[in-house]
Amino acid sequence: MIKILDKITADGIAAGEVIERPASVVKELIENSLDAGASIIHCAIEQGGIKKITISDNGCGMTPEDAELAFARHATSKLSQISDLDHIITMGFRGEALASIAAVAKVRLRTRRIGAEQGHEVIIEGGKIISTQSVGCPEGTQIEVRDLFFNVPARYKFLKRDQTEQGYIADLISRLALARADISFRLTAKQKDIIHTPGNNNLLSAIYVLYGRETAEAMVEVNYQLEPIKINGYITTPQVTRGNRSRQVVFVNGRNISSKVVNAAINEASKTWFMKGKFPSLVINLEIPLNLVDVNVHPQKTEVRFWDEQIVFRAVYHSLIEALETGATAIKGQFESKKNNTVEPLVLNEKQETTVSTAKQTEFDYQPQSTNSLQTEYNYTNERLYPVEQAQAFIKYQDQTSEKSEDQTTNLRQITNEDTTSELAYLLEARLIGQVFQTYILLEFQDNFIIIDQHAAHERIIYEQLRDHYQESKKEPFPKQLLLTPLSMELTAHELSLVEENLAEFEHLGFELDIFGDNTILIRTVPSMIRDVKDPISAIQVLVDSLVDQSFFREDKYDQILHGISCKAAVKANDNLSFSEMKQLLNDLISLKNPFHCPHGRPLIINLQQTDLEKLFKRIV
């Protein structure tokens, strides 16, 4: 009988249906623990689970008879269905988990019923029972699975690196922990906790543990009902975004699923709130009457079909839009109160929409007279400030003229790619007027009024520096500079394991990282060609995302990754720049090969001529 079991299990494995990798073992065993009513489940792994997986639970346990039957019973059920292999395979060998695992590994089961005097141990290797005996052990069940695929070299060969397998397990347990916030899940490797959720039945606590504080704090609640669907969960507001969808987790009736309709609704709702290429993190559960969903369970992927896709789409879409709108109101409130606190009394009346912040001026190492004169003038015009509508009309008017003049290729001039670098040298001679909206640098040169987008300009500078180094000395590591204080950054367990595998590659790019604790890395250095990396954490996130979506090592993606880093390392709009910082930026800009467009193709510099202003003011027509 055991021989037949081996053959059938081997067939199943050959079909890739049952136990494909350590994570499949973990999935089956944890599902059993959940079925047994456990509230605490601990998974300990060695070498990504290839060497050893131990699952302990505080569930109901098994009687000695059941402990042995748990393996044997399924051999029987398989034999009865041997004429119908098709059926067995489409069922994904349900009910065969323990037998399948025992067929391809060395298993030790220890279990004790709650209240029972003694526990029972079963040792089974390659499908053969080696020994059974009474033992002392805690209530509940502990299953140890060693040397996975020791007897199936074909399968063993397909396993990935330990860290990758560990990543799959961490990802799986994360999802289970999000589905069951009422259960405490713990994953340990090398005696270190990788995941440990509280099991306090609070989804946000679980999100906090798994995705970190920043993400959890940016989350708003999703709570929506559209008969007969109920949706609950959390989504991040656009303050915190990610470069991929790896943190979008959807459950239907508590089961993690993938569904095209649900994804489409998520994308549609995200579109209006998130920039292209930016994605929210979200965890939602759709509660739907069981008879209205058809769940087709594959061991790896769970597809689901709904009775009415329209309603599902609408429910998901509106649930997210509603949550994001609530979130936006909350953030606006925060922002307003912050703004009110920092506004100097000197500045303007209440109706004022834009404020001039003078708070940071003391930091300027050089304070030109023009700042003062600008301010006086501003105060003077104070009473005649445009209401918002008028300001908007004005902007619209500008846009129209801009379009028109582009068509006619007259006045309002954007410097184009054809211009040569030397042509920009005049910027050195131009009078630096200052910064406006903490976003644009203003200059005057002869009859030109020059406006530079500080972010786009800086981004271009950094991008060219990185790219030049990369192209000219591909093999050479990027020179690096030490951060005064290392920055800590939170990652998911899966991300952390990918980073851990690629520390050398990060260092090659100038980012020296340390693994610090279970879900944190420390950033110690940044590339030294970038004078002042503004947001190292987001720059690293670009690289981490590219590891997750596997574009990290692709030559054709390299440019995109460098763009991403440049964007994060550059000064932002709304960053206050001192005059010396502005001058530095202009200097760097002049030395560029292509100083005219940011890596995204937006213009960096706009040149208004005096006559353009005169036309706007209808001094001339």
From the list 12, 13, 19, 28, which residue makes contact with ligand ADP (rule: CB under 6 A)?
28
Nearer to Mg ion, 32 or 236 (CB): 32
Say how many C-beta atoms besides its own lie within 10 A of residue 584's C-beta: 16
Strand 52-57 relative to strand 40-46, pairing: antiparallel
Binding of ligand ADP by 59 (CB under 6 A) = yes
Nearer to Mg ion, 25 or 462 (CB): 25
Q: Which of residues 79-138 bind ligand ADP (CB under 6 A)?
A: 94-99
Nearer to Mg ion, 100 or 270 (CB): 100
CB contact set of 34 (below 8 Å; sequence gap of 6+): 41, 180, 183
Nearer to Mg ion, 92 or 486 (CB): 92
Question: What x-and-dash track marks residues 259-288 binding ligand ADP by CB under 6 A?
Answer: ------------------------------
616, 401 in Cβ contact below 8 A?
Answer: yes
Nearer to ligand ADP, 95 or 477 (CB): 95
Question: What x-and-dash track marks residues 60-79 binding ligand ADP by CB under 6 A?
Answer: xxx---x---x---x-----
Binding of ligand ADP by 27 (CB under 6 A) = no
Say how many C-beta atoms besides its own lie within 10 A of residue 471's C-beta: 9
From the list 54-62, 362-370, 441-449, 568-576, the region that binds ligand ADP by CB under 6 A is: 54-62
Dihedral (C-alpha) 209, 215, 216, 219: value to the nearest 10 degrees?
-150
Q: How far is the CB of 57 from ligand ADP (least distance, A)?
A: 5
Q: Which does 17 bind (CB under 5 to 8 A by kind): Mg ion, ligand ADP, none?
A: none
Closest CA to 23 of 45, 56, 39, 8: 45
Binding of ligand ADP by 17 (CB under 6 A) = no
Q: How far is the CB of 66 from ligand ADP (least distance, A)?
A: 6
Q: How far is the CB of 54 from Mg ion (least distance, A)?
A: 17
**If 0-12 CB within 10 Å is exposed, 13-18 middle and 19+ buried, where does residue 539 land?**
buried
From the list 9, 24, 33, 525, which residue makes contact with ligand ADP (rule: CB under 6 A)?
33
Contact residues: Mg ion, CB under 5 A: 32, 97
Count, residues near ligand ADP per rule CB under 6 A: 19
Alpha carbon distance 304, 296 (integer Å)? 6
Nearer to Mg ion, 19 or 320 (CB): 19
In the complex, which residue's CB is closest to Mg ion? Answer: 97
From the list 57-65, 151-159, 293-301, 528-536, the region that binds ligand ADP by CB under 6 A is: 57-65
Distances in Å between the Cα of 397 and the Cα atoms of 32, 173, 365, 391, 616 are 67, 55, 37, 10, 9
Q: Which does 33 bind (CB under 5 to 8 A by kind): Mg ion, ligand ADP, none?
A: ligand ADP
Nearer to Mg ion, 97 or 262 (CB): 97
The tokens of 484 are what?
A: 């005064």
225 SS3 class: strand
Kindly state the greatest CA–CA separation across the chain. 101
- End-to-end, the C-alpha distance of the chain in Å comes to 98
Alpha-carbon torsion 276, 282, 287, 290, what sign? positive
CB contact set of 518 (below 8 Å; sequence gap of 6+): 192, 193, 194, 195, 196, 493, 496
CB contact set of 157 (below 8 Å; sequence gap of 6+): none
Binding of ligand ADP by 57 (CB under 6 A) = yes
Binding of ligand ADP by 36 (CB under 6 A) = yes
Binding of ligand ADP by 53 (CB under 6 A) = no
Nearer to Mg ion, 21 or 494 (CB): 21
Nearer to ligand ADP, 101 or 461 (CB): 101
Binding of ligand ADP by 23 (CB under 6 A) = no
Nearer to ligand ADP, 97 or 433 (CB): 97
From the list 31-39, 353-361, 418-426, 569-577, the region that binds ligand ADP by CB under 6 A is: 31-39
Q: How far is the CB of 160 from ligand ADP (least distance, A)?
A: 25
Residue 96 has phi, psi (to 5 degrees) of: -115, 10
Say how many C-beta atoms besides its own lie within 10 A of residue 537's C-beta: 15
Alpha carbon distance 397, 415 (integer Å)? 21
Q: How far is the CB of 189 from ligand ADP (least distance, A)?
A: 21
Residue 54 has phi, psi (to 5 degrees) of: -125, 125
Q: Which does 24 bind (CB under 5 to 8 A by kind): Mg ion, ligand ADP, none?
A: none
From the list 32, 439, 525, 546, which residue makes contact with ligand ADP (rule: CB under 6 A)?
32
Alpha-carbon torsion 143, 144, 150, 153, what sign? positive
Alpha-carbon torsion 180, 185, 189, 195, what sign? positive
Nearer to ligand ADP, 106 or 455 (CB): 106
**If 0-12 CB within 10 Å is exposed, 13-18 middle and 19+ buried, where does residue 487 land?**
middle
Q: How far is the CB of 62 from ligand ADP (least distance, A)?
A: 5
Q: Which does 59 bind (CB under 5 to 8 A by kind): ligand ADP, Mg ion, none?
A: ligand ADP
From the list 24, 58, 141, 607, which residue makes contact with ligand ADP (rule: CB under 6 A)?
141
The tokens of 343 are what?
A: 């506004």
> Interface residues with ligand ADP (CB under 6 A)?
28, 32-33, 36, 57, 59-62, 66, 70, 74, 94-99, 141
